[in-house]
Amino acid sequence: MSSVSRGRGNRLAWALTGSGHFFTECLDFMRQLENFDLFVSRAAAEVIRMYKSRLPEGVQIYRDTTASAAPVGLLYEGIYHTLILAPATSNTVAKCVYGISDSLATNLFAQAGKCRIPVIVFACDTAPELETMAPGGMVKVWPRRIDLENVEKLRSFEQTRVVESMSELVAATRERLECLGAVSS
């Protein structure tokens, strides 16, 4: 039996996880993009309220409400050219690295890999000491060795680009869209 070969789609899939680190900045950036669908982890749906932020309007939003992560079936339909996982919590990064797919975000990562869809991950825990925005203001955090090691391991994954800052995320996204001839303003 031969498999059906579908062409590369023209949409971006963006998975948002429950990381306060650059959460609102990621939302601001995605508002500049076109042709993307948003996948929201259960934690992200809570965190967005804590930061008194809002999801972009006029965008198809898929929430994490099913045990099977049903929306990942869209990846098999060949409609997405790229998955952006941003910001990515240490929880989601750890699961991705160890091949666990038990949430919408981790299932998207796993299935993107299996469908050979390139992934850009903006991992939160990229340095031993970070300033991050908590709902009450800036706080200092010290990611653990395991968090930093997991980010390093993620770099070795096929078709996976790990970025460490908003500027790198913007550049990697634009680069990808330009390479596909799909740049949006």
Ligand X SMILES: Cc1cc2nc3c(=O)[nH]c(=O)nc-3n(C[C@H](O)[C@H](O)[C@H](O)COP(=O)(O)O)c2cc1C
Element (H, E) at 62: strand 61-63
| Site stretch for ligand X (CB under 6 A), options 1-9, 127-135, 150-158, 165-173 | 127-135
- Which of 82, 90, 101, 107 binds ligand X (CB under 6 A)? It is 90
d(CA 19, CA 54): 15
89 binds ligand X (CB under 6 A): yes
Sign (positive or negative) of CA dihedral 168, 173, 178, 179: positive
96 binds ligand X (CB under 6 A): no
Residue 118, preceding peptide bond in cis (omega within 30° of 0): no
d(CA 65, CA 184): 30
| Site stretch for ligand X (CB under 6 A), options 24-32, 76-84, 90-98, 162-170 | 90-98
Residue at 94: amino acid letter: A
Q: Which residues from 50-79 bind ligand X, rule CB under 6 A?
A: 50
Q: Which residues from 131-170 bind ligand X, rule CB under 6 A?
A: 132, 134-135
Residues that bind ligand X in the complex, under the rule CB under 6 A: 17-21, 41, 43-44, 47, 50, 89-92, 103, 105, 124, 132, 134-135
